[in-house]
Amino acid sequence: MQRINRLAKASGYTLFQKELKDTRNQYFNLVKSTKTKHWNKFLEKEDTQSIFKAMSYTKGKYSQLVPSLYNSETKELESTFQDKCNIFRRALFPPPPQSEGPNLDNLSKDSSYLNSSRVKWDWPSLTQEEVKRACTSKIKGKTPGPDLITQDIIFQAYLAVPYIFYTVYSILINQGHHPKIWKQATGFILKKPKKPNDSLPKAYRVISLLNCLGKVSERILAQRLSFLAETTSLLHNS
């Protein structure tokens, strides 16, 4: 096509017009058919993640600045970066609700619980199998937190030095300590879809990326709490 285009250009586009048109159509049709074959081959993959990649390819990508936000205290629109941060902090990170701690003494005094054969308030020491199950869980697509350590890194590190992981997590969990660094997160503010007014803080949501090392501890505790709830009378029969 380029060769015929040069010949046609040299003749002032008085010659080779039909040849140029035919070769141009042949070239673009070949590109189109090749793209279609490649796209169909990609969609026919058995990998479950391919459909999400296809969605990201077909979804339009654009970046949009956060507009001026409405300040409910001053009843005005704030446009500076620091003012927007303060508005988002108040709207998206409200103070936690206050509540009294649970009173487990009532459970031991209740005859229905005493007569139940399922009641067993044991909290044994951490086992190596629990650490192995939590560290080797194959969780894909998880974005790392502030430590930039992914689950894949934890998986390979555990295979290399499992005793170090068991020693660290057994001390922390047996002592009931959750490090402060694992409570920190990287937050991303995203706009909610189909919200008519972008100036309202509630038109946005925040996602928090936690440290994956802390998630290992959380998986261990979640498994234990689930087992405790199922093997005692904490859950209603229905």
**Alpha carbon distances (Å) from 162 to 132, 159, 211:** 8, 6, 19
What values do phi and psi take at 207, rounded to 5?
A: -115, 140
Distant-in-sequence, close-in-space partners of 137: CB < 8 Å, separation ≥ 6: 151, 219
Q: Mean of the pLDDT values across residues 78-89?
A: 90
- Is the pLDDT confidence value at 187 over 90? no
Residue-range domain boundaries for the chain: 1-38, 64-93, 122-238
Check residue 188 and report its DSSP letter.
Answer: E
- Per residue in 13-49, pLDDT (tens digit) is 888 989 999 999 999 999 999 999 998 888 887 777 7
- pLDDT tens for each residue of 98-146: 888 766 665 544 444 444 544 556 678 899 999 999 998 877 667 788 8
Is the overall model pTM greater than 0.75, yes or no?
no
Helix runs in 1-74, H state only: 2-10, 17-43, 50-58
pLDDT of residue 2 exceeding 50, the answer is yes
Confidence band, pLDDT 50/70/90 cuts, at residue 61: low
